[in-house]
Structure 1
């Protein structure tokens, strides 16, 4: 018996459990120039492996270069063009396998993302040609490159510009091997087509749906393609061994040194070096057939794919290759190598219109997926969903957005996702986001995920908007005509004109916008200054992300903009500009507590105390002013700094009750953050003021254009405009000075008679009517209450701390108004690094 034959027999597993082996190759690509991450250098793959080695007890070196890491479950190796390969031990549990894989990928991303690299799933290198890719400086790869240049046209492409997913299956005995091996070769064109994922190759649109197969077919006919004896009567372990022995070996590992063995065959080299396990592993690795035999069957058909498709592909292979009736069906589709080659060409030419093995490929793929389900558990069947969608829509693997990936992952893991959503809601209910009764934050299962491009867009929006706000405040203080535009009372005007002792005109605000994530265009909704809140709500939803099963499975590395500590730091920085504020200043967080988001107030009380400041939450009516100092009635202690959460409207409605605070403020005996000048922006009339020619004299032409493009048309709700607003779906009614969307009606949510009644009731009653902006919609799911996705309107609240963009508050609703009074959902906000 030939040594190889004995080796293959040792791989028989009579009690096979349906285990799958998985290898995934990846490109690590520079965002700057599209080049793969090199091995050498401060931020190279060598340093990446050093970064990862703490989690891998076994390390492997070649020519003093760290080239591989291994743990109990994972082997990380490198391909010639610095493609990174992650191999997982064989296992039966596909979910566990993907969790291990994604955990490994997350560790890799933690290193590469801050260094300007992305992990790319693609069968071919999308960014540059192979001629611009530098091989790893190893003798083995140099010798292989030299060999392939002499025997083929695309060998260097194979080495430097391809990445695959390899899936392995077990065999029980030689007969089982024969049938599964033939089946894998027969299905190779179909599996390659279904997993095709190279939309762009070498910087150009790719027209070859089986690109990787084409490259391999022109790499080396002596070692690639289909085993010539595949359908011969005596095919088996011996036949594979005989083919292997006559293959030119190219290179040999001679005690760590790779030497050129030129055209010597595997049998000739083995006659010198023998058949130890290490030697056999090397001999087998130099054979590049479509389907390879080791002590398992390695199916090498698939392009490198995003994880959601990789899991689906693994389920497909498992379901087909571990169900006897499927083996019977698909191993007998043909007994001709020529027919397999014809299948490849038909798919290249006609894609979903091809005829393969005598059937329309669409029908054949549908049958494959249906038959695969016969070999899977109920849970595993759901993993096939992404591939089912491809076939149903006659599509190839798309470049999905993260949100689309989440949607598919939720459908693939329905029970785990619902359990996860319930855990998140339970965590919310046990936190300060629960105000008691039925008043707690509602959320959805897919976070809001923005790109760095979005982040830069938000920063520019904030910069321009804040400049405009600053000019409004300055103009109000210097120009009586501007003051007339607002028409505030004498008392409020006095408060607004009282200059704060710090430079920031608006220490904190939130600019709520309707942001189109496709076009990057936006429209303003409203501006919040007085009482700006929900920073802690945002933080806590981020804190609960570890309970989100889909978030944990997503390998992307996110930037989370924390809003609580950063606001406290901005607050402290601002108050220190006031020369009257002492080193050990006491802070009072003031509001009308019956109206307050009071749990957040106590969060900030704790944060300020942690930063070394005596702080208390106090109702703004419970203050005393005497001898030039403001005191808390609750503790009798001096309040040096006020964090004003009480909105101006409430202050003015209780003007006599809050006189101690008013007098301390007017006499500059307390540092108040924020000052009443912020009311100019908070008041709903600001949109009309910004559009007024008197006000626009203070703006630059670019600022005027910015306002006119992004501010919705706004009118006072008077009899004069009733005719203009009859088309209810295009208008929304708001009070001029309110908050939390109180008294807001969107015509799109009302019947015509209801709209007419609302308009009639609020004519000349200090209301505005504003052009309704149709919000950008995304699909999301409330898994606590429903099992189906809905279209949700999105609103993005841009937090601004001392003029700088600080983060986003993301809210959704399935109605026309996005507010807690109208089925609002709040979701965590993440930025892709």
Structure 2
């Protein structure tokens, strides 16, 4: 989840609808300025006994963050507590139960993205060696109950933890027990945003399937291949899902603003504190009628904050966020941006990808999204067959898109090699979760602790 940062626009009052549309419009960039931002989370555990370390225990989460100063990172505080570290590679921040996230810098190509990922993992592993900490690249804690997990000292999390049980049964699991990989990508115009939004939203279930990596809950198989994805189906219906309006005629920035105005608020940030506004209306806020701050109208920073509190499968801010993938090990962190950059950053690839899915009905898209958490690549697709049948073609399109970019590293290699882990998954017909289940039922003989030896 987002770490709040200030900008010059923070204190400007919202006086018209144009300021609500502005973040999306300001995201428009010429092709040569398109960048790749990759976010990835990992589970942190104490090697000795596998517990999830608390924020303030010796060599716990706080100390791990501060140890990053050795590599040039600087603390970011909230209410006197370090809740993130900032540096040239972006921001290292905390998820609600201490999951560690790198929100990477906007980079020009996948070679830079993968180098950034490698630097980060090398740094945290170095700290882990000194502090007896290990890291898991999974989509969900395989063995921890909610009550076994610590809570990090961030004001927005306190509000969300109180609110989640009011709107769904699995929101606390989303906050406390899951990890993801995400990719943030640019667009050149409103029309380009629309085409990319529709294509990526329709194909998000395929990404979920390829990266499915959360088959265990509290030490046993849970009946899903991506339980993390299933969790989102019962987190909060007001701010999650496949967004049918994206596929309707006339969709654009204005329609997304309308959607966000209908998403209930979580909080307002004032004077370094988060004020609970959970369930209240941003429309009321615009009229000076927000119960949490009666008589006060929103600033632009409040709108930016609110944009970060919707969690659909693809999210629009001043860029598009791909949100469908489970957390995973290093090579799959690099594979996710390769998948989406290949499909969305070359026009011929984008057109070909849209042609594959444009005839699907909204009901068919919803059905696919709902079956993927259990079935992954075996999920039926509209028109017959399964995701296994279209996955090779989608990867072929992505590879062609990456080849067309012709971004070479110092060894003369283009970006297509980062798709290799996905090629292997499709060739075998087994997603990462199925491999873990095979180990659990075979070599591990039901011993879930063996997962700590396999997953990073």
SS of the residue 2:246 aligns to: coil
| Cα drift, residue 90 of structure 1 | 1.7
| Cα drift, residue 71 of structure 1 | 1.3
- Does the CA-based 8 Å contact 1:56-1:69 persist in structure 2? no
Distance in structure 2 (CA, Å) of the matches to 1:387 and 1:247: 35
Distance in structure 2 (CA, Å) of the matches to 1:14 and 1:213: 33
Q: Does 1:107 align with 2:107?
A: no
Question: Structure 1 residues 199, 142: closer, same or farther in 2, change over 3 A?
Answer: same
User: Which of residues 372, 376, 386 is equivalent to 2:402?
Assistant: 376
Corresponding residue of 1:357 = 382
Q: Does 1:210 align with 2:210?
A: no
More strand by share: 1
Corresponding residue of 2:201 = 185
Corresponding residue of 1:288 = 311
User: Which of residues 380, 392, 406 is equivalent to 2:427?
Assistant: 392
SS of the residue 1:113 aligns to: helix
User: Which of residues 318, 321, 345 is equivalent to 2:341?
Assistant: 318
Q: Say which one has the larger Rg.
A: 1
Distance in structure 2 (CA, Å) of the matches to 1:62 and 1:269: 24
Matches within 5 A, 1:191-206: 191-206=207-222
Distance in structure 1 (CA, Å) of the matches to 2:119 and 2:279: 42
- Does the CA-based 8 Å contact 1:284-1:294 persist in structure 2? yes
| Cα drift, residue 138 of structure 1 | 3.4
Corresponding residue of 1:301 = 324
Matches within 5 A, 1:649-660: none
Question: Structure 1 residues 349, 285: closer, same or farther in 2, change over 3 A?
Answer: closer
Distance in structure 2 (CA, Å) of the matches to 1:173 and 1:336: 25
After TM superposition, the structure 1 stretch with the greater mean CA deviation from structure 2, 334-343 or 290-299, is 334-343
User: Which of residues 274, 283, 295 is equivalent to 2:298?
Assistant: 274
Corresponding residue of 1:60 = 76
Distance in structure 2 (CA, Å) of the matches to 1:56 and 1:140: 27
Distance in structure 1 (CA, Å) of the matches to 2:320 and 2:264: 22
SS of the residue 1:280 aligns to: helix
- Does the CA-based 8 Å contact 1:231-1:336 persist in structure 2? no
- Does the CA-based 8 Å contact 2:266-2:280 persist in structure 1? yes
Corresponding residue of 1:677 = none
Matches within 5 A, 1:35-184: 35-56=51-72, 58-184=74-200
- Does the CA-based 8 Å contact 1:183-1:331 persist in structure 2? yes
TM-score, length-scaled by structure 2: 0.83
Structure 2: segments with no counterpart, 5+ residues: 1-16, 289-295, 404-412, 437-442, 445-455
**Matched residue count:** 404
| Cα drift, residue 329 of structure 1 | 3.0
- Does the CA-based 8 Å contact 1:126-1:203 persist in structure 2? yes
SS of the residue 1:248 aligns to: coil
- Does the CA-based 8 Å contact 1:15-1:172 persist in structure 2? yes
Distance in structure 2 (CA, Å) of the matches to 1:351 and 1:259: 40
Distance in structure 2 (CA, Å) of the matches to 1:338 and 1:296: 27
SS of the residue 2:260 aligns to: helix
Matches within 5 A, 1:492-503: none
| Cα drift, residue 189 of structure 1 | 0.7
- Does the CA-based 8 Å contact 1:157-1:215 persist in structure 2? yes
User: Which of residues 219, 240, 265 is equivalent to 1:224?
Assistant: 240
SS of the residue 1:90 aligns to: coil
| Cα drift, residue 139 of structure 1 | 3.3
SS of the residue 2:247 aligns to: coil
Corresponding residue of 1:12 = 28
Distance in structure 2 (CA, Å) of the matches to 1:262 and 1:348: 29
Distance in structure 2 (CA, Å) of the matches to 1:400 and 1:121: 14
Corresponding residue of 2:451 = none
What is the alpha-carbon root mean square deviation over aligned residues? 2.4
- Does the CA-based 8 Å contact 1:319-1:376 persist in structure 2? yes
Corresponding residue of 2:274 = 258
Question: Structure 1 residues 398, 231: closer, same or farther in 2, change over 3 A?
Answer: closer
Distance in structure 2 (CA, Å) of the matches to 1:154 and 1:319: 33
| Cα drift, residue 234 of structure 1 | 1.7
Distance in structure 1 (CA, Å) of the matches to 2:130 and 2:421: 31
- Does the CA-based 8 Å contact 1:249-1:261 persist in structure 2? yes
SS of the residue 1:142 aligns to: helix
Distance in structure 1 (CA, Å) of the matches to 2:262 and 2:146: 30
- Does the CA-based 8 Å contact 1:2-1:238 persist in structure 2? no
Once the two structures are superposed, residues 715-764 of structure 1 have per-residue CA deviations (whole angstroms, 9 ceiling, x without a partner) of xxxxxxxxxxxxxxxxxxxxxxxxxxxxxxxxxxxxxxxxxxxxxxxxxx
Structure 1: segments with no counterpart, 5+ residues: 402-517, 520-832
Matches within 5 A, 1:532-611: none
TM-score, length-scaled by structure 1: 0.46
Once the two structures are superposed, residues 185-221 of structure 1 have per-residue CA deviations (whole angstroms, 9 ceiling, x without a partner) of 1011111011111233322123212312211111111
After TM superposition, the structure 1 stretch with the greater mean CA deviation from structure 2, 282-291 or 329-338, is 329-338
Distance in structure 2 (CA, Å) of the matches to 1:167 and 1:344: 19
Once the two structures are superposed, residues 310-340 of structure 1 have per-residue CA deviations (whole angstroms, 9 ceiling, x without a partner) of 2122211111111223322333514533211
- Does the CA-based 8 Å contact 1:123-1:198 persist in structure 2? yes
Once the two structures are superposed, residues 474-524 of structure 1 have per-residue CA deviations (whole angstroms, 9 ceiling, x without a partner) of xxxxxxxxxxxxxxxxxxxxxxxxxxxxxxxxxxxxxxxxxxxx99xxxxx
| Cα drift, residue 400 of structure 1 | 9.2
Question: Structure 1 residues 268, 321: closer, same or farther in 2, change over 3 A?
Answer: same
| Cα drift, residue 242 of structure 1 | 1.0
Corresponding residue of 2:409 = none
Distance in structure 2 (CA, Å) of the matches to 1:147 and 1:350: 31
Corresponding residue of 2:452 = none
Corresponding residue of 1:366 = 392
Once the two structures are superposed, residues 95-132 of structure 1 have per-residue CA deviations (whole angstroms, 9 ceiling, x without a partner) of 22212222122221222233332111111111212232
